[in-house]
Amino acid sequence: MTGLEPEPVPEGEVPRQRFVPESLPAPDGGPGTKPNSGTSVMRVATPGMITLRGRIRSEPIASAVRKAIGIDIPEPRRILSVDGRSLAWMSPDELLILTPLGGSGSTIAALSSALEGQYALLADVSDARLCFRIAGPSSRELIAKGCPVDLSPEAFSPGDFRRSRLGQVPVALWMPDPGQFMLLCFRSVSDFVEHWLQNAAQGEFSGYL
């Protein structure tokens, strides 16, 4: 699995249904117009996630990270990806490492060995967050409804990473590819985020899955 598959449905539960909004009324009151097609929101299987806290700009820590996962420390508000792993800048003293499903344990072991003797904190936070994928031609507009980030193509493109709020709850978001956003939120507020995205899409955007 790559970490982008739809979240498995527990036995006995009903799969989430695709939400297709009604046609929008035309500005002149004439026949309704169809919303922009192809935009969808989906829960995806959460990748392994590791928090690294420390002096991330120091050469010993940067070298240890490079040795363990093969990625350089990203610039502020950026995310770098190599061979199925990603490294995101969270704050001046924090990195978020994304691994394939089930890969957090081996990655922590490699990092612990490489960071030996350095003042740093590693924590597996895979169970703390949940991931959504928003994709399609209206994905920027959908997220911008509740996220105070400039999401214009000139200001936000693949490789950019932001910590912000969506509907007043903390989120992080980035674009793995053009036209596609990944959004992380705490698992405790994931239902709220899902409902917020559903309501934001209603009547304007084409799909909710």
Say whether 94 sits in a helix, a strand or coil: strand
Average pLDDT score over residue span 111-125? 94
**What is the rounded distance in angstroms from the CA atom of residue 153 to the CA atom of residue 171?**
20
Q: Which two tokens stand for residue 11?
A: 């036995």
pLDDT for 103: 86
pLDDT for 198: 80
pLDDT for 204: 57
pLDDT value at 102 more than 90: no
pTM for the structure as a whole: 0.77
pLDDT value at 51 more than 60: yes
- Average pLDDT of the chain is 82
User: Could you tell me the domains of the chain?
Assistant: 40-44+129-202 (3.30.1360.120), 48-124 (3.30.70.1520)
Q: What is the pLDDT of residues 134-159, one digit of tens each?
A: 998 889 999 999 999 999 999 999 99
Say whether 60 sits in a helix, a strand or coil: helix
pLDDT value at 95 more than 90: yes
CB under 8 Å to 163, separation ≥6 — which residues?
Answer: 90, 91, 170, 171, 172
Q: Categorize the per-residue pLDDT at 1 as very low, low, confident or very high, splitting at 50, 70 and 90.
A: very low
124 to 9, 110, 128, 129, 202: CA distances (angstroms): 24, 13, 9, 11, 36
Q: What percent of the chain has pLDDT over 90?
A: 64
